[in-house]
Amino acid sequence: MVWWSRNSLAMRIALASALFGLLLTGGATVTGFYALSEQLDVRAAEELEGKRDLLLHVLSEMPSPEAITQNQHRFGDLLIGHDDLHLALTDPATGQPVASFSPTAQQSVVALKGKAATDSLICRWSSANGAQFAAVQGTGPVANGKAVRYYLSLDRRHDSQLLSGFIRTSSIALPVLLLLVGLGAWLIARTSLSPLRRFHRLAAPVGTQSLSQRVSSSGLPTELYELAQAFNSMLGRIDDGYQRLQAFSSELAHEMRTPVATLMGRTQVGLSKTRTVAELREVLEGNVEELERLARLIADMLFIASAEHNGDILNREPVDLAHEAWQVAEYLSLLAEERGVTLEVSGAATVVGDRRLIQRALSNLVSNAIRHAQSNSQVDLLVTLGNAWATVNVVNAGDGIAPDHLPHIFERFYRVDSARARLDGGTGLGLAIVRSIMSAHGGQVSAQSALDGKTTFTLSFPQEIVIR
């Protein structure tokens, strides 16, 4: 098996073609042998029947069985030019020979004596030296009405030689033919598969710095064209994933650098001289805040990675969107009161999804809306059931988001106001998490905003998971 697996594809095709050729030509040879043998049998039977008819005609012209001896030349004329024909005539009553035209004809009388036969039956017998014969036997009347028994045999030596020659020629030609078929198949396969070298030339040097290369599909046959398209698509996905991984690593390092530097700076300052217990407690409390922020950052990154790379992270169940919106509003009511904001929920819709994740998406949007809402304003959570989508709109009145920021706000670590976000303890991943949750549900999240007006974030759940 190992040896076979190391063969080239062209060699495998050649061997498979040779094996198929062996089966095909072997079957054709066997079929040809039996067809030729059958045709030779038919020809021998026709020849014997023709000579038998002539023999019966000559017998009918003989006045009596005794006259046969004086007219042997008439019977000899039947055999002229037919060295493979042998004739013997006997008295049917006594079995005594009337005429015999060869020693083989005499042997046929003995060989065929025990065989039941009719005028239309072809018999087969073998001589002492192994020669094969086809024969007809029967009785024929002479002119005075008496009968004479005849034994007419045809030597099948030439037919046997022809069949032997066929087998001998086939046994010599067949291996040569199979060799030519295998060699031809190998050459054709090697030539046809030569475009695969393009893949080798491209794949051999591929590295992290050359993922942008692609296989040229011009001039490729259909099968390899499809392979090239799939190969190029794969390289594109790998390149995209690698680029996103690089961006992820860079963003993560950048985001972790600030809390780590803060922790190091505060700790070094705290250790630079003797401190009171109160001063050390203050340093440790500040460090705990940074560590909590760092822990949230790591947890959020792990969640996004799980949502993007896990096949199915959802624990699906019916979810009442209005009920979950009320739950989130109640949970964030203290934060809203601190900022002088009221929360209002309206509408109804039910979807199939992960209750915990939907709550988290709503919580992220509502907490953002509260932080950026004007004092003494209202944040609305509007649940709507449409023909194709079930939606939840989170609307607040605030400063608004500039148009150039809107396309990027769902990206990881993107902040419209970095200073304010850090003071609020945000990691810059809240909206990225919302996008990941909605992607897992097959839905989407979008945002619309007017400067000095209302900002609306919309969660859209597709029709397939909406319960009506």
* Average pLDDT of every residue of the chain: 81
Single-letter amino acid, residue 410: F
Q: What is the DSSP letter of 410?
A: T
pTM for this prediction: 0.50
pLDDT band of 316, cuts 50, 70, 90 = confident
Q: Which residue has the tokens 């609305």?
A: 380
pLDDT band of 380, cuts 50, 70, 90 = very high
Assess if CATH 3.30.565.10 describes domain 313-467.
yes
CATH architecture of the region 222-305:
Orthogonal Bundle (1.10)
Dump pLDDT digits (tens) for 91-105. Answer: 888 888 888 888 888
Residue 13 above 50 pLDDT? Answer: yes
Between these two residues, 362 and 253, which has the higher pLDDT value? 362
Among 152-161, 206-215, 374-383, 455-464, which is the least confidently predicted range? Answer: 206-215
Q: How far apart are alpha carbons 280 and 286 in whole angstroms?
A: 10
Q: Where are the domains of the chain?
A: 2-163, 222-305, 313-467
Q: Kindly give, in sequence order, each residue whose CB lies less than 8 Å from that of residue 256, ignoring residues fewer than 6 positions away.
A: 294, 297
Among 58-67, 99-108, 211-220, 387-396, which is the least confidently predicted range? Answer: 211-220
Residue 394 above 90 pLDDT? Answer: yes
> Could you tell me the CA-to-CA distances from 230 to 144, 236, 240, 309, 362 in Å, in that order?
96, 10, 15, 21, 39
User: What CATH fold (topology level) applies to the domain 2-163?
Assistant: Beta-Lactamase (3.30.450)
Q: Kindly give, in sequence order, each residue whose CB lies less than 8 Å from that of residue 350, ignoring residues fewer than 6 positions away.
A: 318, 319, 320, 321, 390, 466, 467
Check residue 382 and give its pLDDT: 96
Please give the average per-residue pLDDT across 396-406, as a whole number.
Answer: 85
pLDDT band of 327, cuts 50, 70, 90 = very high
Residue 4 above 50 pLDDT? Answer: no
Check residue 427 and give its pLDDT: 60
Dump pLDDT digits (tens) for 138-184. Answer: 888 988 888 999 888 898 888 888 888 988 888 888 888 888 888 88
Check residue 3 and give its pLDDT: 40
**Number of CB atoms found within 10 A of residue 142's CB:** 19
Strand order across the 378-385 sheet: 342-347, 378-385, 389-397, 454-462, 444-449
User: Beta strands 85-90 and 123-126: pairing type?
Assistant: unpaired
DSSP output for 19-88 = HHHHHHHHHHHHHHHHHHHHHHHHHHHHHHHHHHHHHHHHHHH-SSTTHHHHTHHHHHHHHTT-TTEEEE
According to DSSP, the residues that pair with 455 across neighbouring strands are 396, 449
Percent of the chain with pLDDT over 90: 16
Please give the average per-residue pLDDT across 340-361, as a whole number.
Answer: 92
Check residue 119 and give its pLDDT: 44
Check residue 402 and give its pLDDT: 84
Check residue 202 and give its pLDDT: 65
Among 64-73, 227-236, 243-252, which is the least confidently predicted range? Answer: 243-252
Check residue 395 and give its pLDDT: 94
Check residue 235 and give its pLDDT: 79
Please give the average per-residue pLDDT across 377-391, as a whole number.
Answer: 92
